[in-house]
Amino acid sequence: MSVLVITGTGTEVGKTAVTAALAAVAAAEGRRVAVLKPAQTGLLPGEPGDVDEVVRLAGPVVTARELVRYPEPLAPATAARRAGMPTLHPKDIAAEITSLTQTHDLVLVEGAGGLLVRFDDEGSTIADVAWAVNAPVLVVAHAGLGTLNMTALTAEALLRRGLESVGVVVGNWPRDPDLAALCNLTDLPEAAGGPLLGALPAGAPHLSREDFLPVAREALSPWFGGCFDPENFTGRFVSP
């Protein structure tokens, strides 16, 4: 795998933190890692964005790219229209991904919001980007009530588009999980149509770079270079 697209079941589910964890673990293994955020919304020029947060947590060895920035915190197509700025087309994103793969072992592409958030008025989405570069998709979900429906809808959309979903990661596992979160540990793989590949603990994005790496390793599956075991993790919280 040289390219991985990271999408969420919605906004504020922990996509950037999971992207940072993936980048940190891969970089620590000596891999050349690039992180691409095609469209950043809700920030003005000069303000730190998602790729800056990834570099803060994963280290300056990670190459960071942001293609376009819109000032209002809206879907990219809407934000572009309101700002009178050009929209971003999947072919432009795909071209940047292809360029990055020439000099990097792993390119992580972080979407905006959920899978079907629009980049332009033709309805292009991060799913079209994944299709264009034939990349697998990792779904980031929240832990609590309502996540099964959103995860299942995302998985169904991926399946209908012929895209490979590698599995699901919980982007913000609560310190004190409620009943819904505990039950979702068992039910999320079925909703996602793929394995539970990690759970990043709440507060992880606020750690220093040095403290973040061991947490990232523990929170991610061996498939990503970590040591997360879904059965052991689930067993900590869920009674037989």
Active site residues: 37
> 231 and 237 in contact (C-beta within 8 Å)?
no
Sequence letter at residue 106 = L
Report how far apart, in Å, the C-alpha atoms of 17 and of each of 12, 33, 157, 187, 232 are.
10, 15, 24, 23, 22
Instruction: State how far the Cα of 109 lies from the Cα of 111, in Å rounded to an integer.
Output: 6
